[in-house]
Amino acid sequence: HQHIEKYLGIINNPEKSQEEREKYMQEWFDEDEKLFIGLKMTKDIMKKCLHESTFSFRYGMTELVNTLLEEKLKCFVVSAGIKTAIIESLHVLGGQKKLANWNEALVLCATDEGFDKNDVLVSFNEPRATLGNKDILFTPDRFPEVKKFSNAIVLGDNVEDLKAVGSVHLDTTITIGYDNYSSARTSGLIASKYDICLLYTSPSPRDATLSRMPSSA
C-alpha cells in the first residue's frame, strides 16, 4: 500500500516526463519484487491469505463474465501483478458467484513466478513487466488468438495501461479510464488520454473501508 501511495501519484503526474515515469515504474516493481521474495511465501499461504481476505471486485464483474460467456467473447487481463495471486482471486470470485467457468471468458496475461521445490516464491520470470511495458506480456506470439481480432475495448486505471495493446494490430479501439483516486492531477491526465474517463463521484457506504475506488463511478 505504501508503494502505491508513493509511486502511483508520480506515474500519473502530467508534469513528469516519460523518462522519469519509466524510472519510477521500474523502481516500484523492483522494490515490490524484493518485498514479495523476502516474505518466503508459499503458494498455499498466498491462497489462504486471499481466501481469508475481504477484497472485492468492482460492481458488475459477475455481469461482465456472464455477458462474455453468453456472447462467446474474450477479455484479456494484462497485469503486472502476481500471476498466482490473480488466478486465485478469480477462483475466489468463481466460488462466490458460482462462475466456475470464468476461465472461458477471462485470459490472464501476466509475469510468471518461480517457486522452489517447497513451493516458496523465489523469483519473477522473464518477461518481467511493469506498468509501462505490459505490451511485452500481450503479444500475438504468446496469444495467437488475438490475430483474428480487429476491434477492442481497452480498460485501465492509469495512462500506462494504454500501452498494453501496443503489440497487437487493431483497427478500432475504445479506451475507458478509471480514475481510482480522483485527484486533480490524475483526473486531468486520464481524461486527456482515454476516450472516456470515469470519475469517483458517488461514494457508497462500503467505500469508507477501502483505499481504492470500488464501485459506482
Per-residue model confidence as pLDDT tens digits over 21-62: 888 888 888 888 888 899 998 989 988 888 887 777 777 788
CA 89 to each of CA 81, 184, 193: distance values in angstroms, whole numbers, following the listed order: 12, 31, 29
Rg of the chain over Cα atoms, rounded to whole angstroms, equals: 18
Q: What is the dihedral of CA 161, 67, 54, 180, to 10 degrees?
A: 30
Scanning the structure block, which residue is given the C-alpha cell 521500474? 26
Give the sign of the dihedral formed by CA 192, CA 211, CA 68, CA 130.
positive
**DSSP codes of every residue in 47-89:** HHHHHHS---PPTTHHHHHHHHHHHT--EEEEESS-HHHHHHH
Q: What pTM, to 2 d.p., does this model score?
A: 0.75
pLDDT tens digits along 157-216: 878 888 888 888 889 999 998 876 655 555 577 888 899 888 765 555 444 444 444 443
The type of residue at 127 is P
Residue 176, phi then psi, degrees to nearest 5:
-125, 120
Residue 154, pLDDT score? 92
Number of neighbours of residue 107 by Cβ within 10 angstroms: 15
Least confident range from 95-99, 127-131, 189-193: namely 95-99
